[in-house]
Structure 1
């Protein structure tokens, strides 16, 4: 294989995906900081997941927000201190689990932040159509399913 035939990392799909993910995270962090300085983007993701999955346990939340359990615990602690969620003990398969529930204050924060993010979503939809977004998501899912067979992920 000659040097010209070597596929360099910066010319790969994986690089493009990682770079896009970095831009998404940076944009999310910057927007959340401007909209609601008392919250970070990880807390918003967790709050949204708790809203969408009432009574979710902390372990399942970790899987949804793609964080390890220790980081998820810190995020949950912060949301609870701010009064955005309530945590309570329950049982699942005869085991003690910590369930999470969004509070009225947390719901209001989520609505305010979502409303203020809407112009950004509209701006993006002017650049890329919903049909294109759906197509990208379908192709990413196909890639993710293929990769997941080769990778073991412990969250």
Structure 2
């Protein structure tokens, strides 16, 4: 088991991509690659005014930490940050951020991808749509494609 501890946060506040990269890599001379994934809220062709994200406090962070440790250990990452927001998020707003750093690019790509694929399926987050006509679009269902993306890592 590696001594690298992933940075995991679940928060209502927005995040600053560059500040998070700097916090992960600042002063490091062993990092050769940084891969970032930033997930944004879409407007679904103008029909969506917000996406409301809920989570299971404590459990969401624990599952994200477990996934992060898996990614760090499997790909010998030098650092990993995963931030997931909750609350009402307007189209164009940040929802999730994953940053993986490694000595080489493929490990950083794979670490970020594994983190995101498992985060979409295993962490207890729920999304509710708020529609432009003022109604609630209901809860967003899980997608088979997300399960398939996760399963490629098993």
Which TM bucket (shorter chain)?
Answer: under 0.3
Higher relative contact order (CA 8 A, sep 6+): 2
TM-score, structure 2 as length reference: 0.25
Structure with the higher fraction of residues in strand conformation: 2
Structure with the higher fraction of residues in helix conformation: 1
